[in-house]
Structure 1
Amino acid sequence: MRKNLKGCKKLAGETLAGNFTVPVIGSIAVAAMSAVSSYISTALFPGDSLYAIIGGEVFSFVLSLVICIFSAGLYRIYLNISRRETYSFGDLLYFFSHQPDHVIVASFVLALINLVTSLPLAWFSFTSNMGNTTEEQMNWAVTYMLLTLLGFALNLLAAMPFTMSYYILSDNSDIKGVQALKASAKLMKGHYWEYMKMLLSFVPWIIFSIFTLYLALIWLVPYIETCMAVFYRNISGEFDEPPVDSYPPVTPIPQFHDETEA
């Protein structure tokens, strides 16, 4: 039976209970990789010249594709946890030996969307200065904040159809990256508002984490990601199947034809 929002979150909490260690450390490891890549990019391309900005963005873009292979492995961990299947730290490396090029292709599209939607903010940062007076600095800060929110909203909307790609690749690593993106878009059709409601339900907890100096995110992020794994299983029709003793190895996903093999 299909689950509602409350049912998805309840199942996520039940399956994650007692299984925080691996996802917490895995999430911290992937976040650390992103932070280190940003530091390396800044160190290799210092300054605020056009060359430094473009070089830094390109370098970060390439590194993000490698980090996304680890991220896809982390998605696999959360998916296995939600199914009460075995998992380990080694799953972070799963896609390095299971068609990493498919993950890179899917990640390239997602990273490209992120890059394009961040261009307005990057251009504003490069072409403007904070000014000398308090009023000028306040206006600059407000514009910067608005462009940041705009970039976030555009990225969320543009990438939303493809948010299930890593889960699909986890269940079917032989599917090519482009086909995983198409399957994700087909799977998400008609479920955008459900997905948005799921995200919005975590906003109060994220705000609360600010008062804990973001320490609460150590536990909140794994819970959110497990909820998303359950959401994927829900919209893919996995819960439509009659109860069985063990979960099927491959979750049902939308049927499609690989045009490259036609």
Structure 2
Amino acid sequence: MTVLTEAATAIYIENLRKTFSEGKDAKSHYILDNVNLQIHEGEFFILLGPSGCGKSTLLNMIAGFIEKTDGQLSVNQTEIKQPGRDRGMVFQQADGALFPWLTVQENVEFGLRMKKVPKKERQELSSHYINLVGLSGHEHKFPKALSGGMKQRVQLARVLANDPDILLMDEPFGALDAMTRRTMQKELIRIWRETSKTVIFVTHDIQEALLLGQRIGIMSVGPSSKITTIYDTNLSYPRDITDMNFHEYYRKIQNHFDE
């Protein structure tokens, strides 16, 4: 059984709203309306919902890339106004996130170089995280020589090397084939359990949500999307898709969307 221990609130969201308008004189519409959520330190939280419901918008607001319209949004009791080193983003497409002219090791060390971390320490940290994501032996390869799954591992290692408190993951395995995706899901759970990071993971796949998350927040169809229900998934890791309890959670969540 997965049990959330008493932990401080890492992310606090209350009555959060985000509007958009298509032109200067166009009427504003709500992308997100009255979103309320608390995420604990060290928790693996899933944002689950159909395409276009505002999942990525909410994640980008937590990252500090998009400004809120109204409401409260804070990380570790500090209001979010801009991106910060306490939050690391892993995108769906690694190709756009990695520098093609840098090797695996150089990509992982990039943020550390920007922070002027000494060379020896950079090398030690990059080696640690390259090993953590299972890429030892590939340090001197360029992104064009890597598979899709390996590129995502590089992106994850680079984020981890900067040691953020929170990992924000926007459908990071969506472009991978089924076998690679399953491998990466297992690896992510292993890394999360080893590092105790707070993880917010966006997906529209119910099975993926149940394989990964301690809690699953269901988002309504947009516009004016909100989190309507939160499921506590009391399933032990590693999770088995053939388990009857797994199927019962799947049925409940699928029925939620069917309704």
Structure with bigger helix share is 1
Larger radius of gyration: 1
Q: Same-fold call, TM > 0.5?
A: no
TM (normalized to structure 2)? 0.26
Could you say which structure has the higher strand fraction?
2
Compute the TM-score of the two structures, normalised by the length of structure 1. Answer: 0.26
